[in-house]
Amino acid sequence: MKKHYSLALVLCVSAAYLNACSVKQSSLQAESPLETVGEIQSASPSNSLVLEGERIAHYKYQLENGLTVILHPDASDPLVNVNVTYHVGSAREEYGRSGFAHFFEHMMFQGSQNVADEEHFKIVTEAGGNLNGSTNSDITNYYQSVPANQLEKILWLEADRMGFLLPAVTQEKFENQRDTVKNERAQRVDNQPYGLRSERTAEALYPIGHPYSWSTIGYVEDLDRVGLADLQAFFKRWYGPNNAVIAIGGDIDIAQTQAWVEQYFGPIARGPEVEDAPKQPAQLDTTRYITLEDKVHLPLLQVTMPTVYAGHPDEAPLDVLANILGAGKTSLLYKNMVKNGLAVQAFAAHPCRELACEFQLLALANPQAVSNLKQLNDIIEQTLNEFEKRGAQDDDLLRVKSSIEAGTIFGLQSVSGKVRALIDGEVFNGTPDEVNVIVERYNAVTKADVLRVYEQYVKGKPAVILSVVPQGGVDLAVAPQNFVLPERVFDDSVESLKSHTVALDNKNAPDDFDRSIAPVADANKPVSVPGFWREELANGIELVGISSDETPTISLTISMEGGVLLDSVEKPGLAAFTSQLMNESTQNYSAEEFSNALSVLGSSIAVSASGRYTNVYVTSLTKYIDATMTLLEERLFNPAFTEADFMLAKQRTLQSLQQQLKNPSVLASRAKNKVLYGTDTRIGLPDSGTLESLESITLDDVKTFYEQFYRPDHATIVMVGDRTKAQSLEMLDSISAWESNNYIIPNYAPEASTAPGKIYLVDNPGAVQSVISIFKQAPTYDAFGEFLKLSLSNFPLGGMFNSRINLNLREDKGYTYGAQSAFVGGKTLGYFRAGADVAAQYTNQSIVELLGEINRYQQSGMTEDELVFLKNAYTQSDAMKYETPRQKAGFLISMISRDLDSDYVAKQQAIIQTIQTDELNQLAKKWLDTDTMDIVVVGDADSLLEGLSDFGREVVLIDVPR
């Protein structure tokens, strides 16, 4: 489930624990050369098609049944993306019947009249593609990317569930997906720190019955209240073609695509007429204080004020205001809260939806520096007063405009991004290509506009003030709660439910073909590994690059091998902490000045350390690469490592580590590593270190680590973008002078254990879900041998949606939102893992099913049909591997870091094409012995401990490294 917001949220700052926003990407340039328009039109069955779009070239037309069709030709890669979006989200639900739209997103993957249960996932996966769906308050969409030759099959699939879904909807499927949605809510909301933040805020901000007063995923009691007939009526009301848009982008033939769309979608009956919902910004008469006790370490303050709606003229200046107040190190909230250590994070955002927007100010308190959230609320008030006196400045506007420019151009890098931008423009504004409009809207914002919207929507205005506090910490709240949501009262009679739906029985037009027969795809178009060049810099750094002028962008990655493996066992976390300080002040810039210098270019430079590497990531528009490289040199060669930055970063990191220990997935990961490797070696301890080790790290430790290990001796550089080899070498001239100082990378290679497996229980009191992890040591990575073949062997077991594990625990039993398994291999470490987050009451049953599936697979192996499916999925997916600069860079990084030849992909494909079940099944028999696998369970010990003893394994209560 995803949330949709306007493009303006490219300005939003994401937090480590709070998904405050998501970014909608668009494109800035037309992909199809205009000189080919005449040829395309002449080949089309309709002369009415006209190529339009100033930035994203597209055709738009409408079928007689009201389905809007958008076609975007882009032959740069042999793939297509198909997105079908219905203008129905949770805002179209009735009060007391929340979660319908999201529930139906799940049901749309359960088969239709001519497509068997789970077959949609299977067909797309076997075709070498990927797929998903998402629901938010305003829309539900279904999208898939596949090799170009598979387009007709995808259109057949989408049309079948649009026009022929209900005959396949059964009570059994209904009950199963209801359980799945409940598990999703438990995993993403109820069992997550701060998971109820958005729901509680919406309940207080919007009046009862407002379309945004409930969350998209809905309430469990609402899901329990309704039946199959109600869901069917919801489909008939909202899922007609006249309430949908289909956008198809990629390597398409316009005439053929139009003919297929007409064939498969044209006969589908029109649905009820749908009117746009009225804009409904929230209104508050007085400030509402609410308090939420949660499993958190860091108290959270969120101040939310109602504003306008998406597309309103004031949306853009409000976004600029949010940027000034709380976007990164240049913001006022950072200066007034984070810089002085009062908060671990602080930011502002202006999320917008179709009917209403909200202005949000958030802060995660440092409990060592503040005694309650009222202190932070007072600072927010002081910050607003400071802005009023300061006003907007030239750099503020420049940062926003650069962010918009960079965000839209980077959105051009994938067909799926362009297709989504076309869909959103059409659904919400009736114009697919909205990029120019958006850019112009932000370019037109003035300093006076920003001050005006501050005074109109923010200054002194009532707000919902949410305090999220540790359990038992109500006294930490900003103020006593003065708002209580009225009791939800419903009429649950069948007659009442039916009165809220429209059940039409329009008949589809007769077909002149047999829909029960799936289209057969032509042969895949040939896919080539991207052409790349390589060079060695003067100081020995290997440089590998791909020159591509598809977008005027450059992405650069510097990888220094060693990473957290270079930590001593006494001070784990030093590598990660050093990388944090590398993102702070330099000798010539304060942290804030450096951030501003990057922001006005729309560029980014980030240093991080995890696993085997310390990485420096750089992105830039081509026109600003010289200025960005100058900043990179400053970042890499001139860190300041000031005492003030050190103390602030340490305080922030310690508090963040405390918060991580509230996350059940983090607890499970730490327990797994402890069991696999012990805590007397570096690899058994968290990458980020422990509270004790972080406390012991000194500034001199950081400086020494930098001097020793930020060196070119084990470094590689990958460059993808709008630069030739010669230009790239010139661009990296200063990096060539980087002085070497060779260091040794420790080799960790523990021996696999053959001892009987145990159950390790990590107590998470009151948990509504249990996190189960089953694992053992396994082979390290190799490109052509045992590890590759084990990865292939795992595919039917737990490596895809239609795997045995997932179909059992999610689709058949309804215990979980998702279950999986994998072989994970590095240079010196490897392990097998399987697991799931499951409903707490089904913990034992889930372990039984996981072990049972692994045991059956170990004993009998995969079938011949599963092998055919595996080969098709792996060999037909090449078209999806090299589309974007990130994917191209990933290919290069994999090749270099593993010391592979350039033809390694072809060699792997040859192995996959010829491998047989006997060889794969022998490997499964060798490695999937569950008797030697350990099991970690993170859940409520009081309710689980006795039952876990039934497995005949030793049960050990375990503490994780803290």
Cα distances (angstroms) measured from residue 525 to each of 251, 765, 877: 10, 54, 11
CB-CB neighbours of 489 under 10 Å: 8
Q: pTM (2 decimals)?
A: 0.90
Q: What is the pLDDT of residue 439?
A: 85
CB-CB neighbours of 875 under 10 Å: 14
DSSP per residue, 163-218: HS-GGG--HHHHHHHHHHHHHHHIIIIITSTTTTHHHHHHHHHS-TT-TTSS-TT-
Q: Rounded CA gap, 547 and 49, in Å?
A: 35
Q: What is the pLDDT of residue 194?
A: 94
Distance of CA 274 to the CA centre of its chain: 31
* DSSP classification of residue 338: I
Name the token pair of 197: 């933040």
Q: What is the pLDDT of residue 758?
A: 96
Of all helices (H) and strands (E), which one includes residue 319? helix 315-326
Contact 847, 951 (CB under 8 A): yes
Q: Tens digits of per-residue pLDDT, 6-57?
A: 322 222 222 232 332 222 222 222 222 222 222 333 333 344 688 887 789 9
Q: Rounded CA gap, 482 and 523, in Å?
A: 66
* DSSP classification of residue 304: E
Helix (H, G, I), strand (E, B) or coil at 609: strand
Q: What is the pLDDT of residue 5?
A: 30
Give the HSE-up count for residue 753: Cα atoms under 13 Å, Cβ half-sphere: 17
Instruction: Kindly calculate the radius of gyration of the chain based on its CA atoms and give it in whole angstroms.
Output: 28
Q: What is the pLDDT of residue 504?
A: 55
Lookup result for tokens 């350039």 = 902
Q: What is the pLDDT of residue 703?
A: 98
Name the token pair of 765: 């009191």
Please give the order of strands across the beta sheet that includes 955-957: 816-825, 830-839, 769-777, 934-939, 759-763, 955-957
Burial group, residue 782, by CB count within 10 angstroms (0-12, 13-18, 19+): middle
Distance of CA 371 to the CA centre of its chain: 34
Contact 798, 866 (CB under 8 A): no
Q: What is the pLDDT of residue 523?
A: 86
Q: What is the pLDDT of residue 48?
A: 63
Name the token pair of 304: 């939310």
For residue 940, which of 664, 659, 658, 674 has the smallest C-alpha distance?
Answer: 664
Name the token pair of 837: 């987050």
Q: Rounded CA gap, 407 and 28, in Å?
A: 9
Q: How far apart are the first and last CA of the chain?
A: 32
Q: Rounded CA gap, 899 and 897, in Å?
A: 6
Residues 6+ apart with CB under 8 A from 172: none
DSSP per residue, 504-559: --PPPPPPSS-TTSPPPP-PPPP--PPP-EEEE-TTS-EEEEEE--SSSEEEEEEE
Phi, psi of 666 (to 5 degrees): -65, -45
Q: What is the pLDDT of residue 22?
A: 28
Cα distances (angstroms) measured from residue 584 to each of 269, 594, 631: 59, 8, 13
- Mean pLDDT (10-residue bins), the chain, 962 residues: 30 28 28 28 49 86 97 94 97 91 90 92 93 95 96 97 93 89 91 93 95 94 88 91 97 96 97 94 97 95 98 96 94 95 96 97 95 97 97 92 88 91 94 87 94 97 97 96 84 47 68 93 86 93 93 95 95 97 97 95 95 95 96 97 95 91 94 94 93 96 97 96 94 93 90 86 94 96 96 97 95 93 94 96 97 97 96 89 89 90 91 96 97 97 94 94 88
Q: What is the pLDDT of residue 492?
A: 57
CB-CB neighbours of 872 under 10 Å: 14
Helix (H, G, I), strand (E, B) or coil at 62: strand
* DSSP classification of residue 310: T
CA angle (690 as vertex; 684, 694 as ends), nearest 5: 130
Q: Rounded CA gap, 843 and 813, in Å?
A: 12
Q: What is the pLDDT of residue 749?
A: 82
Q: What is the pLDDT of residue 816?
A: 94
Q: Give per-residue burial for 698-731: e unless 16+ CB within 10 Å, then b.
A: eeebbeebbeebbbbbbbbbbbbbbbeeebbbeb
Q: Tens digits of per-residue pLDDT, 157-182?
A: 999 999 999 999 999 888 988 899 99
For residue 124, which of 103, 106, 102, 151 has the smallest C-alpha distance?
Answer: 151
Name the token pair of 317: 């200046």
Residues 6+ apart with CB under 8 A from 469: 291, 292, 293, 294, 296, 299, 373, 476, 477
Phi, psi of 219 (to 5 degrees): -95, 145
Contact 160, 112 (CB under 8 A): yes
Helix (H, G, I), strand (E, B) or coil at 446: coil
Contact 717, 554 (CB under 8 A): no
Q: What is the pLDDT of residue 717?
A: 96
Cα distances (angstroms) measured from residue 375 to each of 380, 465, 766: 9, 13, 31
Q: Give per-residue burial for 253-276: e unless 16+ CB within 10 Å, then b.
A: bbbebbbbbbbbbbbbbbbeebee
Phi, psi of 599 (to 5 degrees): -65, -40
Contact 267, 163 (CB under 8 A): yes
